[in-house]
Amino acid sequence: MRVGIEVGGTFTDLIVIDENIAHIAKVPSTPGQPDVGALNAIEAAGIDLKNVAELVHGSTVATNAVLERKGGHICVIVTKGMRDLFALQRHDRTSIYDLKYKKPKPIVNRQDVLEINERMDADGMIVQKLDQIELAELIKTITANQKYDAVAICLLNSYVNPEHEKEIASTIKQMAPSLSVTCSYNVSREFREYERASTTALSAYVQPIIEGYLNRFLKKLEIKGFTGRFSIMQSNGGRMPAYAMSKNAIAALYSGPAAGVVGATGIAGRIGYRDIITLDIGGTSTDVALIVNGTPDLTPLTKIDGLPVRTPVIDIATVGAGGGSIAWVDDGNLLRVGPESAGAYPGPASYGRGGELPTITDAHLIRGTLQASSFLGGTMKVDMEAARSSFKSMSAHLMMPIEELADSTIRIAEANIVRAIQQVSTERGRDPRDFVIVAFGGAGPLHAARVAEELDVSTVIIPPHAGVLSAVGLLMSDYVHFRARTERTRLVDSSVTSIINILSDLRTQTETYLISEGISEGLTFEHILEMRYVGQAFEVSVTLGEDLKHLTIDAVSKIFSEAHHRIFEFSKPPENPVEIVSYRVGARTKSAKFFTPKDGLDGKTERTPEPEFIEITEGGEQIQCQLMTRQLVSGEGSFGPILIEDGTSTIYVPPTWSALRDDANIIILKRGK
């Protein structure tokens, strides 16, 4: 058996592949103890862990630790004079018209930032050596009273020469072997001091939480007889053995959303779609990503709670528009939706766990696009009266009928989702009309067609087991590791040898690291350059081919010019100087893949196999809608309006849309008769 478990904000999803038959489970998450939710999913699926050869896991543990400020108590060692780095941050304002704007709160207090006398110049030459006596005293201060869980080390210009960071880390290990140490050269060996320091500190901050969580989870698995291979999803769309996360916990920051992108890309690729927009709507948020030619875009920099993280991450845009997103009225008496969510507990009002605020899930139940009798395949009871009650006070305040208010709530959420897709498509120089949407998550198929209409997209793909596709993506992921280095290089003919040597060196480092982790078969490599016109303050990512033997400056210059023009609608004449700022190499080895699994889940609903007709409210109108299951959708096509109940999700096919099911049990929605 191969098992994938993805812990989301509201539900924990599990898929087990046994002889190419898929069996799934979906249970409520337990935010305080995510491993409990994962074990509940294993129990719900009836899995004997003694028979599991491989378990792949993705969770929001690292994300929640940062957002809730519940990471480890850390200190950071910096070069003397750099103590205020975390407080100063950058001098920009992300919200320029907010009179009460405040910079993001650092995860490390000023008194926990410790200075040491040392200095490297910008070329990596030692200007001031470390004083071993001073270093020993500093470590005694750190270990006094045992108040720190981890130490982060980020010295000035150590991305060029990490000798002093290595020396400090080695001394700490000698004097305090149990103390977790994170060095910037291992986490982000790139320039821009604040971003590098922030990434290193965040990695150290979540390290004790990740280690503790994984150790507890693995111990519980072993008690139940698990002896297989245990790996963790990374933000870059690849996975690594769980024990490797002890060296770079920040890589697991966005593991859940990344797994969904991998699953959607793999399934769409099998039926010939390589340019896609992924639409993952869960219980807490909506995550969207753009895939070109079967490859997700990676961004070298992202932010969490306003704090920069410089590590390769799948370029995912997130908005607070999930099933648990709360509807509210602002000071201007306008209806708003999200970003606040009811989460797993108490959850939407209809869940009957004490929630009283109106959510998107409640709105769908009211307007009929979710059926209470067959919610989650009939395995979960929901309260329609509680859903209606949650909207009553807002209905009276806005003087709108409850059904109309519920419909308006959903339409506002869909408008927010459209803007998120534009962020990863139009704002990146891509026309969404050239793509198809792959919808998944519990609510993705419910909104996909209407979102596609707003973007003028004509095709939507709904994979099998859409509600747990992130768990499917875990089992489809490759083992991946990236290494990066900042080294400014002018793009001239004489630089070819230097460019190839730097990329080859990084390639060797990634390969050596994967081999040291027991991963060596079928390695492939990708080479990425961060480039800019000389004088610019930002870079454009340029991806080269795997073969570097025939690399030419003209070819690199052309790729850069095209990428720059696509994003900014202009590129300068060839005589304008161009430079490479950073180099990045990724190594991946193909994991064992499974083909699109047969349908192994039958909902527990008592519904008869014959289609029924129900009444729903949409766009202010009452619509007669056909109600059916995935199995009843034909290969010739069925025309909307249709509501397709699919166990872990519900698919809405609006008027003017049709749905057909192919041989792989994938449903394809097409706009127009």
Residue whose tokens read 């930032």: 113
Residue 591's pLDDT is: 62
Q: Report H helices in 323-468.
A: 360-367, 384-398, 402-424, 444-455
String of DSSP letters for 632-653: G--SS-EESSEEEE-SS-EEEE
> For 475, how many CA atoms within 13 A lie in the half-sphere containing its CB?
27
pLDDT computed for residue 246 by the predictor = 66
Per-residue model confidence (pLDDT) at position 665: 85
- Angle at the Cα of 227 from the Cα atoms of 224 and 230, rounded to 5 degrees: 105
The closest alpha carbon to 409, from 329, 508, 352, belongs to: 329
Q: Which pLDDT score is estimated for 595?
A: 47
Low-confidence ranges of the chain (pLDDT < 50): 595, 597-608
**Sign of the torsion formed by the C-alpha atoms of 92, 89, 251 and 162:** positive
Region for residue 280 given its phi and psi (left: phi exceeds 0; alpha: psi -120 to 50; beta: otherwise): beta
What SS3 class is residue 450? helix
Within 8 A by CB and 6+ apart from 451, the residues are 279, 414, 417, 418, 421, 437
In angstroms, the CA 43 to CA 50 distance is 13
Supply angle C-alpha 452, 457, 461, rounded to 5.
Answer: 70
The answer to whether 59 and 256 are in contact (CB under 8 A) is yes
Q: What is the pLDDT of residue 593?
A: 57
Residues 6+ apart with CB under 8 A from 99: none
Spell out the domains of the chain, with CATH numbers in brackets.
2-66+211-252 (3.30.420.40), 67-210 (3.40.1360), 479-589 (3.30.1490), 612-663+667-671 (no CATH)
* C-beta separation of 180 from 207 below 8 A: yes
Neighbours of 132 (CB within 10 A): 10
Relative to beta strand 667-671, strand 523-533 is unpaired
60 and 34 Cβ atoms separated by less than 8 Å: yes
Question: What is the residue whose two structure tokens read 């129900």?
Answer: 614
Per-residue pLDDT of 484-519, as tens digits, reads 999 999 999 999 999 999 999 999 999 999 988 888
DSSP conformation class of 123: T
Compute how many other C-beta atoms are within 10 angstroms of the C-beta atom of residue 13.
Answer: 33
> So what's the pLDDT on residue 592?
55
State phi, psi for 279 to the nearest 5 degrees.
-130, 100
Instruction: Output the pLDDT for position 518.
Output: 84
What is the pTM assigned to this prediction?
0.86
Distance CA 114, CA 116 (A): 7
pLDDT score of 500 = 95
pLDDT of 436 reads 96
Largest CA distance in the chain: 81
The model's pLDDT over 605-627, given as tens digits with 9 standing for 90+, comes to: 444 456 688 888 888 788 899 99
